[in-house]
Amino acid sequence: MNDWAGRVAADWPALHVEQRGGWRLGYSEGVTKRANSAFALEPGARAEVPEEFYPARGLAPCVQVWRGGEALDAELAGRGYRVVDPSLVMERELGERPPAGEDVAVAAGRGRAWREVRAEPDASGRAAEVTGRIMDRAAMGYAVHGSGLARGCAALNGEWVGVYAMFTRPEARGTGLGAAVLDALLRWGHDKGARRGYLLVTEDNAAARALYRRAGFGAVSGYHYRVLDSPGPRSGG
């Protein structure tokens, strides 16, 4: 198993997890790919396992393929899986406490100000409710800029603090609000004992990658999802 796959799974934990046939299978009512996908725990894990698990729950099979998983990636491609969201893991040391900056509060819970930064596309509120249940399973801190235009959260796990759910409203991007939220989350993690930080970012998000590089992060690993939209004939028999 890839070390990063295990760390991310612990910090963004699925609501339901099974280990079966060499796979870790996560399910969270279809909300967020990260919490509704599988990754291989050992070489040679059979792709039929996630292909049975996810359709039985109304979802397309979705597999995380991490660096070093070229054989698995080739097998899934041959079975008709498409690539979704190629992403980087970026990491930095936290030997020194990041300096205090702008007006950013970090709290132990998701207050109204944090929730209102980003409008929820699901009018029923179901996606937000399920995501909240996922977050509640980790030791999270929630940061919101005083302007109400940027937010993020971070999961504390031993010496690591993982930054998640970074979002700045479009009209405020490029103004430094995201950097202020990031610094506050890293400062919170440092105060809680973390000495290393990481985050995940899609490869096509150039602006976010530039922000994180300026904050001292460098790419150390990567992954993408393979999704099988509809089972069909298998190559190679």
The CA angle 191-195-196, to the nearest 5 degrees, is 125
Q: So what CATH class is 95-194?
A: alpha beta
pLDDT for residue 54: 98
Give the start-to-end residue ranges of the domains of the chain: 3-86+223-227, 95-194
pTM over 0.85: yes
Q: pLDDT tens for residues 67-111?
A: 999 999 999 999 999 999 999 999 999 999 988 877 999 999 999
Q: pLDDT tens for residues 173-183?
A: 999 999 999 99
Q: Give the percent of the chain with pLDDT over 90.
A: 89
- Composition of the chain by helix, strand, coil, percent to 5: 30, 30, 40
Using CA atoms, how far apart are residues 11 and 100, in angstroms rounded to an integer? 25
Q: Which helix (H) or strand (E) holds 16?
A: strand 16-20
- Residue 167: name the closest of 137, 199, 197, 139 by CA: 199
Average pLDDT over residues 215-220: 98
Using CA atoms, how far apart are residues 184 and 100, in angstroms rounded to an integer? 7
Q: How many CA atoms lie within 13 A of 28 on its CB side?
A: 26
Beta bridge partners of 200: 89
